[in-house]
Structure 1
Amino acid sequence: MHKEPPAMTHLSSKTQAPDNALPHIDCVLIGINSEKTVGRCIESIQAADYPRDRLHIYYVDGGSSDASILIAKQYEGVITIALRPVHPTPGLGRNAGWQTGSSPLIQFLDSDTILDRNWFSSAIKAIRPEKIGAVQGILSELYPERSFYNWIGNLEWNGLKGECESFGGNVIVKRDALEMTGGYDEEMVGGEDPELSRRIIRAGWKVIQTGVPMAQHDLAMTRFKQYLRRTFRTGYAFAAVRERERSAGSRFWQYEYRKIIIKGGGFSFSLLLAIPLMAVGAPAPSITALALVALGTALLLNPRIFKVGQFMREQQLERKDARIYAWHCSLVVLPQLAGVLRYHIGRIFNQPLRNRPARIASEISVQTP
């Protein structure tokens, strides 16, 4: 059963500091065909415990065919930015938003999120120190009980409290850090958030996880096809970001990347070797083939076999749920491996993965109420 995140005890913004001492914040929402969620996201920002005149909301639309822009325009003070790129990416939308504004802080949000009312109170405190470039909080899934996929997302959204190696798509960032690094990579179709965070860290800034509620996310994933598409793109993002980090001399995502190659690749390679051996039909090759498949399967199912107890402790799961999560951790490397291979094949033939082209030519139009 889903539980709302606990309310954070706090003093109101006006008792913490005078209004004129609180920084202005540009809230940049991005979305495509988000008519079901964008209004809810805007309303959550407007309901935040923060002086309304210091919040500036930008909805950046990546090429919707529904009523997303019309809905955003209905809210007073919201600036809509309509992008019509040939190949839409999250980086294009986020850059268009923060570059349009001028506030010293930028809160990035996906349009399918609901901002926690008290988030800005803790975020402002955490990001004040000079060397803190970005701050994130707890992102929880809105309806984890509605599907296995939502439940998995809810388990994996967040890292440990304290200084961290990267941030996700929902984060508050200093404008100085964005200007110093140039902002988001506008060509990446996945992994653009951790990729930027790594450049921000290399520029001398720190990224902090506060451990307090930041937003709720509506993944709305109910079909296996959606899960496969998302995990494929996750693998592609691991490869794309890992390539950049390797060139920069960083080990970021090295473990995750190697895990996909060793487990997913090892299992797949064992099958490829076993099939022709089985076709021979002789006892010795058949035994060898079975041994290869057994070895590859053991490699693939390592989390399911050996890590159930670990998942129980780390994720605070009952044994049944820990087993289910272990199956996910075992099998997810296969679609991720497909994404990794797609990235490297694309590099060889200069054919990177791109989002579906928009029907009209690239343009940016900024419309204010």
Structure 2
Amino acid sequence: MTSGKIGVVAIGRNEGERFTACLASLDGFAGPVVYVDSGSTDGSVEAARAAGVEVVELDMSRPFTAARARNAGVGRLRAAGLPDYVQFVDGDCVFAPGWLDAAATFLDTHPAAAVVAGRLRERFPERSVYNRLCDAEWDTPLGQVDACGGIAMMRASAFEQAGGFREGLMAGEEPELCLRLRQAGGEIWRIEADMALHDAAMTRFWQWWRRTRRAGHAFAEGYALHGKGPERHYQREVRRILLWAGALPLAILILGLINGHWARYALAIYPLQVLRLSARLGMERAFFLTLGRFAEMQGLLDFWRRRLSGAGAKPYDK
């Protein structure tokens, strides 16, 4: 395993056995590993130290974000001499065999690449519809892309020059960093190699709803930062949410006050949208994608309310 030039930053909170499996997937890796904990009470800190991993315990009196945790991990690596590449991983993931070597080799041979990610798959898609939705979400195009997720290997020099993650972002910190890396001339790649297995452990509707709501917040926040720039960051996503969970429901409500029969006909727009999407995505994904616009709208409203009130970051629970 190519370990001398790679450092690993893992973040987590009360991941339990999932974090134990994450550590086990690093067996044989000789490079530096930093675990950044955000207030775990399940023994994760002790498990990391027992495995010889350096631990950073965040001061939870300050607002916690994943971006802040990842930056703290890189800061600890930097104190001992920053490696060439930093692999970020969440504590609910396990690495695929050979991934770290494959990623480092890609960065070695592609000097313009700032970030490389591989195939992320859901570990137990059969356990719930919500896990299956995650698995479908991870199935993204290969090649040069606009953004990665939270599991990726980054060129440390590019990460440093970009200033790292924007710590105030509650979500969507990886696409925002990727945007800045691309603006600086860096490339973002997703390659065919298996990268990791993710364990969403979502078995209840409200877990899915909170996760989708958080995505809506990320779209709104990303759009507020870069939506009017040449990248039009998240412009399409915000407009789609406003249409399907804002303008159309309002129009149907007004129509209902004028003529209830026409309002009932107008409501058929939503099942028709599900049918249209199902031809490409399947009925299950089409249904939840359409329903999810309302959770995303709630996230948009969360962002605007917090921005108007001046409230700081307050992450959603998993």
**Which residue is equivalent to 2:59?**
84
* Secondary structure of 1:169 counterpart: coil
2:50 to 74, 83, 97: 74
**Residues 7-86 of structure 1: pairs in structure 2 closer than 5 A:** 23-47=4-28, 52-53=29-30, 55-76=31-52, 78-86=53-61
> How far is 1:248 from its partner?
3.3
* Secondary structure of 1:30 counterpart: strand
**Which residue is equivalent to 2:175?**
194
* Secondary structure of 2:214 counterpart: helix
Letter in 2 for 1:306: R
> Whole-Å Cα distance in 1 between the matches of residues 124 and 14 of structure 2?
20
**Residues 139-288 of structure 1: pairs in structure 2 closer than 5 A:** 139-274=120-255, 277=257, 285-286=258-259
The superposition leaves residues 79-98 of structure 1 with CA deviations (integer Å, 9 ceiling, x where unpaired) of 11111222211011100111
> Whole-Å Cα distance in 1 between the matches of residues 124 and 290 of structure 2?
24
Question: How many pairs were matched up?
Answer: 311
> Between Structure 1 and Structure 2, whose CA radius of gyration is higher?
1
> Whole-Å Cα distance in 2 between the matches of residues 202 and 96 of structure 1?
24
Conserved? CA contact 1:160–1:211, under 8 Å: no
> Whole-Å Cα distance in 2 between the matches of residues 64 and 330 of structure 1?
35
1:329 to 272, 280, 289: 289
**Which residue is equivalent to 2:276?**
306
Letter in 2 for 1:141: E
**Which residue is equivalent to 1:341?**
301
> How far is 1:225 from its partner?
1.3
Letter in 2 for 1:149: Y
Conserved? CA contact 2:90–2:150, under 8 Å: yes
* Secondary structure of 2:88 counterpart: strand
Report the RMSD for the aligned CA atoms in angstroms: 1.9
Letter in 2 for 1:304: V
> Whole-Å Cα distance in 2 between the matches of residues 149 and 91 of structure 1?
25
Runs of 4+ aligned residues of structure 1 deviating over 6 Å after TM superposition are none
**Which residue is equivalent to 1:117?**
97
Structure 1 gap segments, 5+ residues each = 1-12, 14-18, 278-284, 312-321, 358-369
Structure possessing the higher relative contact order (Cα contacts under 8 Å, 6 or more residues apart): 1
> How far is 1:221 from its partner?
0.4
Letter in 2 for 1:344: W
Structure 2 gap segments, 5+ residues each = none
> How far is 1:302 from its partner?
4.7
> How far is 1:30 from its partner?
0.1
* Secondary structure of 1:219 counterpart: coil
Q: What's the TM-score once normalised by structure 2's chain length?
A: 0.92
> How far is 1:352 from its partner?
4.5
> Whole-Å Cα distance in 2 between the matches of residues 267 and 293 of structure 1?
13
* Secondary structure of 2:89 counterpart: strand
Conserved? CA contact 2:16–2:43, under 8 Å: yes
Letter in 1 for 2:289: C
Conserved? CA contact 1:301–1:331, under 8 Å: no
* Secondary structure of 1:121 counterpart: helix
